[in-house]
Amino acid sequence: MSRLKDQCIEVELKFNEYLKDLTNDQAIAKINDEYGPSHAFACATQIKEFIAQDNQSQSDDYEDVNYPNKKKVRTS
């Protein structure tokens, strides 16, 4: 593997460790301090992608809900 790829894997592992004890922003700041802004940006992107996927999966769960006893309510 290339040196850059090895470093990317190292950063990802360290970032995941930081997330166990720190907030997202704190973990990104530590990566920025240790590895620089390009790796911090990659970590921030990873968080945004995870949130987007999580939001999508939650909305998919609610689309298939069937309410068999739901009655129409007349509003005045």
The predicted structure's pLDDT at residue 4: 87
The predicted structure's pLDDT at residue 59: 67
The predicted structure's pLDDT at residue 53: 87
Could you say which residues of the chain have pLDDT below 50?
Answer: none
pTM: 0.70
Could you give the CA distance from residue 73 to residue 52 in angstroms, rounded to a whole number? 35
Report whether 14 contacts 31 (CB < 8 A).
yes
